[in-house]
Amino acid sequence: MSLTLIANWKLHGSKSFSRDWLNSFNDSYQGSSLSSIGIAPPSIFIDDLTKHIDNPGISIGSQNVDHFPSGARTGEISADMVADAGGQFSLAGHSERRIFFQETNADIALKLDLISESSLIPILCIGESIDEKDQNKTEIILEQQIIESLSAGSKLQNLIIAYEPVWAIGSGSSAAPEEINSIHKLIKDIVQSRFSALDLQGVIYGGSVNIENAFPILEEEEVDGALIGGASLNGEEFAKIANIFNELKEL
Ligand code: PEP
């Protein structure tokens, strides 16, 4: 199984929000299979959400896990705990984690290993800042993030990379579709040349994807899906983006 469209609810939601979201999603979703769709709610809702999803249905996962498997780490949750709660994937290295919680590529490498060891699908988030983009450093930054985060890459199964330019996240303006396409190609080339044994399932795009811009972004050849924040809080809008994706990729 691989995931193509993932909702990142960030610090939003409640049990009643989850119920309403699933109802709106189900009312608007036209696809026959849900198995490529993921929701990353705040971890405290993983258990509840998994109980309200039909099987085989939408995968539920976490937005983050700790880079230690256990220990004196007050407030943290481990990859094993996510799996135990019924989670099936985890993000690692979201830019909000890198910026607000000072996560380094070395931390992210440890997280990816633990995620994989817990049989969760690992989703590595990478992306350049606006300063890095303005200084034409996008390529070098992405390469560095990939190389340093996949130091134990050969062990990872089913890896997905989410390309999320920091300047596009939550800004209301996404990167241009052709630019996204060429950066996805670059990411695939870097992984292929540096980690040829690695099982890369796809490169998905994140950064202000919504119902208006989903079509031109998702129709690009190298775009294998999307990681969606703001627009994913509306079950109907997320379902409509999924419908566009299914139509484009003939799922
Ligand atoms: C994200 O946080 O992963 C994201 C892509 O957010 P948004 O869609 O709101 O830009």
152-172, pLDDT tens digit by residue? 556 788 999 999 999 999 999
Q: Burial letters for 213-249: b for 16+ Cβ neighbours within 10 Å, e otherwise?
A: bbeebbebebbbbbbbbbbbbbbbbbbbbbbbbbeee
DSSP 44: G
**Is 128 one of the catalytic residues?**
no
55 pLDDT tier (thresholds 50, 70, 90): low
**Domain count of the fold of the chain:** 1
The helix/strand/coil state of 187 is helix
**Using a 6 Å cutoff on CB, does residue 169 contact ligand 1?**
yes
Mean pLDDT within 123-132: 98
**Using a 6 Å cutoff on CB, does residue 8 contact ligand 1?**
yes
Q: What is the pLDDT of residue 210?
A: 97
To test the pocket of ligand 1, the residue of 208, 211, 232 to mutate (highest count of ligand atoms within 8 Å of its CB) is 208
Which atom of ligand 1 lies at the shortest distance from residue 206's CA?
5
Quote the domain boundaries for residue 74: 5-250
Q: What angle do CA 135, 140, 144 make, to 5 degrees?
A: 135
199 pLDDT tier (thresholds 50, 70, 90): confident
DSSP 222: T
Mean pLDDT value across the chain: 94
Does pLDDT of 1 surpass 80?
A: no
Q: What is the pLDDT of residue 154?
A: 62
Ligand 1, atom 1: nearest CA belongs to which residue? 229
197 pLDDT tier (thresholds 50, 70, 90): confident
Question: What percentage of the chain reaches a pLDDT higher than 70?
Answer: 97
Q: How much distance in Å is there from the Cα of 229 to the middle of ligand 1?
A: 4
**Is 219 one of the catalytic residues?**
no
CATH of the domain at 214: 3.20.20.70
Contact 8, 94 (CB under 8 A): yes
